[in-house]
Amino acid sequence: MSALKAFLKEGFNVAAIMGLGDTVAQLFIEKKSLDDWDAGRTLRFSALGLVFVGPVLRRWYHFLESRVPKNQTPMRRGLTKMLVDQLLFSPPFTLTMSFLVPMVNGEHIDRIRKRIFDSYPTIMARNYMLWPAAQVINFTFVPLRYQVVYAQCIALIWNCYLSLVLNG
């Protein structure tokens, strides 16, 4: 598969899952009626998946695959990748998303900064309740070509939460 085709496939998969997460958040968690559903917000959240989340995760997972020694047992490799992912990647990635989501929704920079200051520690604490276990499974048992899709299926739940916090 060509690099461009893989890039687009990954981006569209992530965009669809992120859009579904925002839709679920609006309709079932925020309890908006279908008439009040903000399709523009969902499209913007999906667009972030297409142009940012999908491509970044794909590159990151390939980077991890190339850097973590293959002579380790699968479980040890999975744990090593998870630790590197959660300690080095997750904090700046989550911070970036905490900025990008409200920004694409037209929120003023000062309000975004305040929201990040107020919510980022809680978002990261919740991140560490979900993602370490999910990523051990991902990095240990899921083939590399399916890791972004697996992570985005788990992220369906996470994106509902993020959408609520970052769009609230």
Structure confidence by residue, pLDDT tens digits, 78-119: 999 999 999 999 999 999 999 998 999 999 999 999 999 999
Question: Which residue type, as a one-letter code, is found at position 9?
Answer: K
CB 20 within 8 A of CB 160: no
Name the domain count of the chain: 1
Residue 144, CB half-sphere, CA atoms under 13 Å: how many?
Answer: 13
pLDDT tier at 156 (50, 70, 90 boundaries)? confident
Predicted TM-score (pTM) of the model is 0.89
| Tokens coding 100 | 């990008």
Domain containing 161 equals: 3-167
**pLDDT number for residue 82:** 98
